[in-house]
Amino acid sequence: MATINGTNFNDNGIDKPMLVGTNEADSIYGKAGNDILSGLGGNDYLEGGIGNDQLYGGIGNDDLRGEAGNDYLNGGIGNDYLNGGTGSDKLYGGTGNDKLWGEGGNDFLTGGIGKDYLNGFSNGTEFDTLSGGADADKFVLGAQNYYNFYTGEGFALITDFNSLQGDKIALFETVDKYSLVSGNFGYGNPNVQDTKILFGNDEIAVLQDTTNVKATDFILGDPFPG
């Protein structure tokens, strides 16, 4: 087990210094600067800090935190937790049942292989893109008795919702408080209709290239995000 700390600079003249763990459970901290963090094996904790960082969990059940900056997080193999932090981040779960949180900024979340949890998590205007990948995934648009995560002009684009695969959409309120509108909205295949999800007059999500959506595809979100 190792604790590895970066510096507040791009060390040794290298634009993106690499901090590499071991095959045990490591804690790696990037601090400021544009860093590359690699956990290798073990259940690792990686924290990018300030800067546009790249975090790779490797093999194991890893915890990846991008923090500030436009970061790239890749969980690798295992049941991982990825949190982009502030900035426009790209999160990829990899193989395993992963939990992806975009946080602030316009984020891209891809679950990969496994039963994944994808949550752009905002309370305002941002545009997140959520792709579950294979298996039954949960796309989270709000928390029960808390709030919708997208308001105003912000919304989530869900690129691969598949009811037959067992995908679910988690909402702030019961499904009767929402409405669905189908049409060609300019996403994905122009010959296939999309579905908008509205809360009142507020568009909170678009399901790309599908109109195969039914009431049982929706569930209440967790009572509080976490």
Q: Where exactly are the structural domains of the chain?
A: 1-87, 122-219
Strands (E), 54-96: 54-56, 63-65, 72-74, 81-83, 90-92
Instruction: Label the pairing between strands 202-207 and 194-199.
Output: antiparallel
**CA 2 to CA 171: how far, in whole Å?**
40
Give the single-character DSSP code of 142: E
Task: Decide if 108 contacts 126 (C-beta within 8 A).
Answer: no
pLDDT on residue 16: 61
Length of the chain, in residues: 226
pTM: 0.91
Q: Is the dihedral of CA 218, 145, 98, 104 positive or negative?
A: positive
**Tokens 């087990």 found at:** 1
Predicted local confidence at residue 152, as pLDDT = 76
- Low-confidence residues of the chain: pLDDT under 50: 11-13, 225-226
